[in-house]
Amino acid sequence: MGLDQYAYKVKRDYNREAKTETITKVEIAYWRKHNALEGYMCDLFHSKGGDGEFNCRTLPLNNDDLENLDEAINNKGLPETEGFFFGQDTSKDEDCIALDKLFIDDAKKALKDGWEIEYTSWW
């Protein structure tokens, strides 16, 4: 068991004649026990009006969210976040930072191409 985190690009297409919606979801990032990112996303979830425990919840991300995340990473501002399944502090882990940067780039490109971005985690 442990903290598993995912980011997806999502496209929703609605067929008015059939009254059906097709949802395409493609994983663009995966993290394992990146607790600092989880703490950041949890805080963002609550700042956007989410309530309750941030486990198995979906957090939509827009371009401003990605810009703010990038700024937090650049300023070493991801919070130290503790949890039973979260592992060691990752707030300054260079491998995690590199993966975060790659995610931000991929997510921004996907937004420009008309996709939505979602983050979710499970622990």
Instruction: Using pLDDT thresholds of 50, 70 and 90, give the confidence band for residue 26.
Output: very high
What sections of the chain are H helices per DSSP?
A: 35-47, 63-74, 94-112
d(CA 48, CA 42): 10
Q: For 27-71, how does the pLDDT look when each residue is reduced to its tens digit (9 = 90+)?
A: 999 999 999 999 999 999 999 999 999 999 999 999 999 999 999
| Least confident span in 4-13, 14-23, 82-91 | 82-91
d(CA 64, CA 49): 16
Measured torsion, CA atoms of residues 7, 8, 9, 13, in degrees rounded to the nearest 10: -150
Q: What pTM did the predictor assign?
A: 0.89
Give every CB contact of residue 66 below 8 A, 6+ residues apart in sequence: 104, 107, 108, 111, 117
Question: Is 62 within 8 Å of 116 (Cβ atoms)?
Answer: no
DSSP-derived 3-state class of residue 25: strand
Q: For 78-110, how does the pLDDT look when each residue is reduced to its tens digit (9 = 90+)?
A: 988 776 667 788 988 999 999 999 999 999 999
Give the pLDDT score at 84: 65
Give the pLDDT score at 14: 92
Residue 113 CA neighbour count, 13 Å, CB half: 11
Give the pLDDT score at 86: 76
